[in-house]
Structure 1
């Protein structure tokens, strides 16, 4: 994880959860409406620059010039602050992906069943992210990655990693340029939502096709998939 997620609520919903005021960022009541966000696409990313909050479309993936493989889409919270690839991004490119949930696949017999994972109270989620700043410029494939944490075998029992989802009250400090790299590590450890805050249900295999969108993708299905 994370390889697919949903970002369908309105900006108003996300920003209200963060306690942002209308003069701090541009509000918009229209739903974003993306129920099947895939790597390699532009994703709305919340970030801070010039002492203001911004929501910019940023490429999901990170592959610097010296990287000769597919762009990476995730970074482990345990190693990102110190590793060669992600240390500069952790220090200067922290961001947030506002989301509503994410997908995981579990092998059941001879097929893989997708599940949609979301907050038990259907609250907006805030994925910790790092990337190439400033986000107001197009850096090509040097975009962003979602920070992941160990799932402690508590998430559907299908994957050992999950997005690092921060509490709403920790988001502004995570984004702040005044926050040190060490303090950001503390936030990642102290302000991550625990597994018990989430729930999940099986969904249609149609989510496996990145061209499919729509609310039906997050609807619960019975074990036979109907």
Structure 2
């Protein structure tokens, strides 16, 4: 799953990693500076409207009116395209979350050790997401969820689920309003980064509180 992540670099850094021309977005070199993004907060979300890339602050969580529980924050990629809850979002609300890494907790006895997981060369990450479009409208708790996949090849010793991270070259097609839901399924599995592209290390348990937001949260602890 993904219950916390970091989004701390500037918008320009993320767009540059996508290879997007400067005229296609509003430049902002100021670092976002969020080292501990928590559910229930507004998060900058990338989507496409009218053939153009758009970046909007959107509520992280999805709870339609008929849902009588806490808003969901993740959707299993294996079933998101076909289930009652998420199929409409998969078909018409595909989006991407800019990120620099995410946190998972590993249980050891009666304690939990948090880990920060990131691209081994510290490249920006692009989490596949789905939600209630259009994202420039306010939909209350009908925001967005991060799509997850099963962990394999070593990362499973940290957690059995992880965000579905797309290759930068596939982001535009994933977002495109012309991409069919069936093609989006193919992109999700063929263009997802493998576990071998990631590294991780233990971090301070201060990440457990979303009130803590400093860069020290991603530093390795002994």
Q: TM-score, normalization: structure 1?
A: 0.97
1:165 and 1:64 mapped to 2: Cα distance? 26
Would you say 1:167 and 2:173 are equivalent positions?
no
Measured after TM superposition, the shift of residue 109 of structure 1 is: 3.0
Q: What are structure 1's unaligned runs of at least 5 residues?
A: none
Deviations 1:73-131 (A, max 9, x none): 00011100000000000000000000000000011232100000000000000000000
SS of 1:196 mapped into structure 2: helix
SS of 1:23 mapped into structure 2: helix
SS of 2:147 mapped into structure 1: strand
Q: TM-score, normalization: structure 2?
A: 0.98
Q: What are structure 2's unaligned runs of at least 5 residues?
A: none
Provide the residue aligned with 1:193 in structure 2: 193
Q: Is the 8 A contact 1:98 1:126 kept in 2?
A: yes
2:156 and 2:25 mapped to 1: Cα distance? 36
Measured after TM superposition, the shift of residue 153 of structure 1 is: 5.3
Provide the residue aligned with 1:9 in structure 2: 9
Runs of 4+ in 1 over 2 A off after TM superposition: none
Measured after TM superposition, the shift of residue 154 of structure 1 is: 2.5
2:159 and 2:183 mapped to 1: Cα distance? 28
SS of 1:185 mapped into structure 2: helix
Matches within 5 A, 1:1-226: 1-152=1-152, 154-155=154-155, 157-222=157-222
Measured after TM superposition, the shift of residue 19 of structure 1 is: 0.6
